[in-house]
Amino acid sequence: MAQGALRGPSDYSREPPRHPSLRINAKEPFNAEPVRRDLVASYITPVDLFFKRNHGPIPILDDIDSYFLTIGGLADGPRRLSLDDIRKLPKYNVTATLQCAGNRRTEMSKSRKVRGVGWDVCALGNATWGGAKLSDVLQLVGVPYHTEITPSGGKHAEFISVDQCPEEKGGPYKASIPLGQATNPAADVLLAYEMNGEVLKRDHGYPLRGIVPGCIGARSVKWLDRIDIIEEESQGFFMQKDYKMFPPSVDWDNIVWSTRKPQMDYPVQSAICSLEDTSAIKPGQVTVAGYALSGGGRGIERVDISIDGGKSWFGAERFQKEGIPYVAGDITSDKWAWVLFKAIVDVKGDTEIVAKAVDSSANVQPESVESIWNLRGILNTCWHRVHLLATTKLRSFM
């Protein structure tokens, strides 16, 4: 690739600066998440505190005028688009939560060992993404809205990056989504060049990334180089040999990757972020706050809290934007975004506090991690539990 064009380096000598408060789970490639309290301090996650998920060194672009996105494959292409070409299309701002499929993996690994980066409960963030709709971009290469299959047999849109991933033997990260989703304006799939009103930072896909709302973060490909319309779903490593949900009976000796489809949207999820897994507290009123979300644009109907380990329950307050009541599915609510929750509880002694969410389709989080354990440690959505130890003196680990 020519000097000045977007390129994925082979070493980590030009990594961007990162916020010092992030909890680093892997240094090379860099994977980090914010601390719990920082995550739920605001509905829109500050860019610096948004989780960082990478599979190789961060790509470099020295000259924005040298950047082009190629649209090709089974469409009227190929066509090269500059960032200016994409900016000329109608701009949309979509507030959407991105969640790594490995969120809460550390907790799952305590049940049985799993493979992957160890994440606490903060491998997600909520941002307002600005850019062009993929459905508008694909019209430029003769693919109309609501196209399930092109005349030449294209059924999927594949995003291809420039980063160098060991899993791809040094090749780029790639993933695809069904063409019907890519060409549906209501699906809000974006080619984003802004995050929270600012130009994308390098860690988050500069100069252009895909945003696929309601899907696991692995499908929102960063540092886009090309988009191909293809007949079958992407054959890349992260579609075919990763991010698939297997039952607890499957291990690394008997796994057959082809027996499961790539994971796309995610199940209903919630976590308490105002407290650590074990917190020392003074008896009295304690704030229980956190997030809840569901995939596919489903809203959050309830967040249930228990202060006796799950024997009895009551509802927490749910909210998104200040001063606007949250109603799942209402036009005033952000359908692709998380919902924050809060409850004040009276704690008299040692106890276990539990949170579980219910989405607008009445899906509920499973009680135990054992029933959803899988060898890659993805989609841990069991009830989230924290233990409170009553003490007259707050300890230093709070």
Q: Tell me what the mean pLDDT of segment 261-270 comes to.
A: 98
pLDDT tens profile 194-239: 999 999 999 999 999 999 999 999 999 999 999 999 999 999 999 9
Of the pLDDT bands very low, low, confident and very high (cuts 50, 70, 90), residue 336 is very high
pLDDT tens profile 3-16: 458 999 999 999 99
pLDDT tens profile 124-152: 999 999 999 999 999 999 999 999 999 99
pLDDT exceeds cutoff 90 at 155: yes
pLDDT exceeds cutoff 50 at 2: no
The beta strand positions in 142-277, using DSSP E, are: 156-160, 174-178, 190-195, 198-199, 209-211, 226-230, 269-272
pLDDT for position 63: 94
Of the pLDDT bands very low, low, confident and very high (cuts 50, 70, 90), residue 392 is low
Global pTM reads: 0.95
Q: Burial of 240 by CB count in 10 Å (0-12 exposed, 13-18 middle, 19+ buried)? A: middle
pLDDT exceeds cutoff 60 at 396: no
Tokens of 32: 């980090």
Write the DSSP symbol of residue 85: H
pLDDT > 90 fraction of the chain, expressed in percent and rounded:
94
pLDDT exceeds cutoff 70 at 397: no
Considering the chain, what is the average pLDDT of its residues? 95
Amino acid at 273: C
